[in-house]
Structure formats: structure tokens, C-alpha cells
Structure 1
Amino acid sequence: MTEHSAAPAEHGTPGSHGELPLRERKPEGGNPVSRAVSAIGLFLQQVMDELSKVVRPTREELVSYTIVVIVFVVAMMLFVFGLDQLFSWVVEKVFA
């Protein structure tokens, strides 16, 4: 049998010198406490990295999205209310 050596994948990040991108790193350390602290620090770094990618909506987009949600919720309320009234009427006619 031959063993295959797993070479680290090149991710094409400029200036990485063989390091993995931030989101693919794993905590390093000798003992469990230092690994836990490193894991928490890595997690917070990854959270900040992902938050920097968030695109926030403009005021106009936010207002339009809010109106769409309110209209949809009102439409669903009316639909469910209508079904409730219909089923109440059917049950009253069948069992009364």
C-alpha cells in the first residue's frame, strides 16, 4: 500500500505565505486552556471578518422591505381569518 501525503491546498490569497485564510484556520496551542482561548479569539476574528462583508440596506430599501412585510402579514391574517370563518360556518352547519 502506498500512503498519500496531504499537501495543504493553495487558496490563492496574496501574501499568505502558505497560511490558511482566517475562516479556515484552526485554534493552535499546547494545552486545552490555551486552545480554548485561541478558539474564542479565532471565533471573534471570524465574526468580525464576516460582519465586514455585510451590506446594509439604504433607508429607502428598509422602508420598502418593511412595507412588503406588513402587507404580507396583513394578507396572511385575512386569509387565516377567512379560513377560520369558513370552517366555523361548516362545523356549525354539520354539527348544529
Structure 2
Amino acid sequence: MSAETRDSGRTGRKSDRGGNPVSRFFKSLSLFISQILDELRKVVRPTRSELVNYTIVVIVFVSFVMALVSALDYAFTKLVLWVFGG
């Protein structure tokens, strides 16, 4: 198998393994930042009314869970005190 046959699947890009390590670092950093910016362009931000609705839902849910955990804590405290004669 010749080298041309083996490399036919490659895109023709030069390998990143060679060259100056500092140059490779900055190329990698540049690629990373450009990919971050590309992903940030895809982000869909909620409207003001959606944001208010989401905030209300989160506050209600967290309040419910806090009440549930508090009730369970109170119940288990009473149970433990009753079992151990407190």
C-alpha cells in the first residue's frame, strides 16, 4: 500500500504535530475561541415575559421543595425524639 493510498482519506490539512509549539498553542486557542463564539451565536435568549415566567416557576418550585424538606425534617425529629424518649 503506497503512502498516497493511505493518505487519500485525509482532508489535505497539514498535521498539527509539527511546527513551533507556541504557534500550535495559539492556533488551538484561536480555534477554541472561534468555536465558543460560534456556539454563542446559536443561543436563543428568552423574551422578558418568558424570563419572568421561568423565574416565578423556579421560585414556586424551590419554595415547595423547601416546605417539603422542612416538614420531613420536623416529622423525623419528632419520631426520633419519641423513639428515644426525648
Report the equivalent of 1:47: 36
Q: Check the 8 A contact 1:29/1:38 in 2, yes or no.
A: no
Higher share in helix? 2
TM-score (norm 2): 0.81
Q: For residues 17 and 42 of structure 2, what CA distance do their matches in structure 1 show? A: 26
TM-score (norm 1): 0.73
- Post-superposition shift, 1:7? 1.9
- Alignment equivalent of 1:71, drawn from 49, 60, 70: 60
Helix, strand or coil at the partner of 1:52: helix
Aligned-residue CA RMSD in angstroms?
A: 2.7
Residue 71 of structure 2 is matched in structure 1 by 82
> Whose Rg is larger?
2
| Greater length-normalized contact order (CA 8 Å, ≥ 6 residues apart) | 1
AA matched with 2:75: L
Deviation at 1:29, TM superposition (A): 6.3
User: 1:27 deviation in Å?
Assistant: 5.9
Distance in 1 separating the partners of 2:25 and 2:17: 9
Q: How many residues align?
A: 81
Counterpart residue type for residue 69 of structure 1: V
Gaps of 5+ in 2: none
- Please state whether the residue corresponding to 2:9 is helix, strand or coil: coil
Equivalent pairs: percent with the same residue?
A: 50
Residue 95 of structure 1 corresponds to 84
